[in-house]
């Protein structure tokens, strides 16, 4: 219901480009059913390839039309993306989630007002990526209206379920920011994404406390959902965040130079939160084990793709040139995918890594080899592979003809593309 309202707003404001001409999104959706599916519901591949928009990719059985889908999707993506913005789709809800989070933090512990302020500085995280994914996942898994259920009863259930799923989005954001706050203490980071880190401004005391506070609020909110499976999933996430951070602290050269170790660490530090919370969204909706796994797979692969690109951007920044990023990882001696791939071509890097990066000239030498290697490109390719796997998970969800469900699934696929293309 809420997505339809958003959609109406979108329709009032703009048109959607499909196959080179403008139609209203709602209008296209209707004409699509008649045009592609035919009267008996069978599909004509030629027609399909001609008129298929991004959104409608999910109507297809994923495995049968894999290559065709990818071809069409790539051709149309840039124009359609302008119209279907995943963040706009859940803007109202995101705003409500944000308000609730702000109220939870500010009202009960005035002393932590400064932490709350940091928490809500948009510069820290840009858009609310995780809650957006989770709200879209909630809509993407929306069960069809139960036959025979009265509108009132179903609506009540649906509203309650949505509130519980929103709660998962809030909990996830709290856990995420708590880990940022504690990571800031750990890394002694002076700056995070251009916004003064809290521990730089306020000292370690407030950072640790604010992180603990957010974690405790997350625990209380989690407990109030009264779903032990969901509690276990998100408790495990907190453990993974710590394990990931611990793995990153390793001083063993063998582990620091292992791609397998790096990917495991990346899963723990970045992908576990979003994958487990996506699964929690599915569990709350009483989805099957298979659907819950697909939700988890989406989150896991999106998270890995996100971090791989993050690791590229640490070297390139917004430009495509090496050394334009903040280089914060390598300067801290954290070896990420681009360097790991470069090492396969230039084993000399092993020696540099062993010497450490306290000496800035060692950073320059590493960048020199990285520039000569396929490290950046192979990292991007690996990120794309994970992004595709995330999209595959969405496209493998049980068929649905519900308009809101399909829009949300499409938005989730668009996010996998955005993650790869982002420059900041």
DSSP 3-state percent helix, strand, coil across the chain (nearest 5): 75, 0, 25
Q: Token digits for 213?
A: 């506070």
Least distance (Å) from its own copies to the CB of residue 44?
A: 51
338 within 8 A of 383, measured Cβ to Cβ? no
Query: Out of 213, 267, 296, 306, which residue is the one contacting its own copies (CB under 8 A)?
Result: 213
Of 134, 168, 238, 271, the one binding its own copies by CB under 8 A: 238
Token pair of 243 as six digits:
């394990």
How far apart are CB 265 and its own copies at their closest, in Å?
A: 12
Cβ 181 to its own copies shortest distance, Å:
10
Q: Which of 231, 259, 313, 322 binds its own copies (CB under 8 A)?
A: 231
Choosing from 242, 257, 313, 322, the residue that interacts with its own copies (CB under 8 A) is 242
Residues 279 and 292: beta-carbon distance below 8 Å: yes
Among 33, 47, 78, 236, binds its own copies (CB under 8 A): 236
The token pair at 149 is 């259920």
Give one DSSP letter per residue of 204-232, joined into a string: HHHHHHHHHHHHHHHHHHHHHT--HHHHH
Q: Does 208 bind its own copies (CB under 8 A)?
A: yes
Tell me the window of 81-89, 145-153, 229-237, 268-276 that interacts with its own copies (CB under 8 A).
Answer: 229-237
Question: What interhelical angle do 129-140 and 151-187 show, nearest 10?
Answer: 150
Q: Smallest distance, Å, CB 207 to its own copies?
A: 9
Q: Which stretch binds its own copies (CB under 8 A): 12-20, 228-236, 303-311, 371-379?
A: 228-236
- Cα 4 from chain centre: 23
Give φ, ψ of 131 to 5 degrees. Answer: -60, -35
- Dmax over CA atoms of the chain, in Å, equals 72
What is the rounded CA–CA span in Å between residue 75 and residue 94?
31
The dihedrals phi and psi of 250, each to the nearest 5 degrees, come to: -55, 145
Residues 6+ apart with CB under 8 A from 169: 97, 130, 131, 134, 135, 277
x/- letters, 3..32, toward its own copies (CB under 8 A): ------------------------------
Among 3, 105, 180, 215, binds its own copies (CB under 8 A): 215
Cβ neighbourhood burial of 316 (10 Å; 0-12, 13-18, 19+): middle
Q: Which residue has the tokens 């989070």?
A: 101
Cβ distance to its own copies smaller for residue 54 or 112: 112
228 binds its own copies (CB under 8 A): yes
Among 111, 159, 355, 401, binds its own copies (CB under 8 A): 111
Subset of 155-194 contacting its own copies (CB under 8 A): 182, 185-186, 188
Given the complex with its own copies, which of 296 and 341 has the nearer CB atom?
296
Q: Smallest distance from the beta carbon of 251 to its own copies, in angstroms?
A: 9
Is the distance from CB of 170 to CB of 101 less than 8 angstroms? yes
- State the nearest-atom distance from the C-beta of 219 to its own copies, in Å: 4
Q: Of 153 and 220, which CB lies nearer to its own copies in the complex structure? A: 220
423 touching its own copies, by CB under 8 A = no
The string of DSSP codes covering 101-128 is HHHHHHHH-GGGHHHHHHHT-HHHHSS-
Residue 268 per-residue DSSP state? I
What residues line the site for its own copies (CB under 8 A)? 108-109, 111-112, 182, 185-186, 188, 204-205, 208-209, 212-213, 215-217, 219-220, 222-224, 226-228, 231-232, 235-236, 238-239, 241-243, 245-247, 249-250
């Amino acid at each position: 219901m809420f997505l339809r309202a958003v959609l109406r707003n979108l329709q009032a404001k703009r048109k959607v480009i499909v196959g080179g001409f403008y139609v209203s999104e709602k209008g296209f959706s209707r004409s699509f059913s008649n045009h592609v599916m035919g009267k008996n519901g069978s599909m004509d591949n030629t027609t399909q390839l001609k008129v298929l928009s991004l959104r409608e990719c999910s109507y297809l059985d994923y495995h049968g039309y894999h290559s065709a889908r990818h071809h069409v999707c790539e051709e149309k993506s840039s124009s359609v993306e302008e119209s279907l913005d995943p963040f706009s789709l859940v803007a109202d809800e995101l705003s409500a989630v944000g308000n609730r989070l702000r109220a939870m933090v500010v009202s009960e512990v005035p002393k932590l007002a400064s932490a709350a302020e940091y928490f809500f500085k948009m510069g820290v995280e840009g858009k609310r990526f995780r809650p957006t994914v989770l709200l879209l996942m909630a809509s993407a898994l929306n069960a069809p209206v139960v036959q025979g259920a009265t509108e009132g009863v179903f609506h009540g259930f649906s509203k309650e379920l949505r509130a519980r799923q929103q709660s998962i989005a809030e909990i996830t954001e709290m856990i995420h920011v708590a880990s940022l706050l504690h990571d800031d203490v750990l890394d002694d980071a002076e700056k995070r994404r251009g916004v003064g880190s809290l521990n730089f401004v306020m000292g370690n005391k407030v950072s640790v406390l604010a992180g603990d506070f957010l974690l405790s609020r997350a625990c209380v909110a989690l407990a109030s959902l009264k779903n032990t499976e969901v509690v276990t999933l998100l408790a495990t996430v907190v453990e993974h965040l710590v394990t990931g951070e611990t793995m990153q602290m390793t001083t063993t050269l063998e582990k620091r130079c292992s791609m397998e170790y790096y990917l495991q660490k990346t899963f723990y530090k970045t992908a576990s939160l979003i994958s487990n919370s996506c699964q929690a969204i599915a569990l709350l909706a009483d989805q099957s084990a298979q659907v819950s796994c697909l939700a988890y797979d989406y989150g896991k692969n999106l998270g890995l793709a996100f971090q791989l690109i993050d690791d590229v951007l640490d070297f390139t920044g917004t430009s495509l040139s090496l050394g334009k990023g903040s280089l914060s990882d390598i300067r801290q001696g954290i070896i990420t995918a681009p360097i790991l791939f470069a090492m396969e071509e230039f084993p000399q890097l092993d020696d540099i890594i062993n010497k450490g990066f306290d000496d800035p000239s060692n950073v320059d030498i590493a960048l020199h080899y990285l520039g000569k290697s396929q490290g950046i490109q192979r990292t991007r390719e690996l990120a794309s592979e994970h992004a595709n796997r995330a999209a595959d998970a969405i496209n493998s969800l049980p068929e649905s003809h519900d308009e809101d469900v399909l829009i949300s699934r499409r938005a989730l696929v668009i996010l996998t593309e955005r993650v790869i293309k982002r420059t900041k």
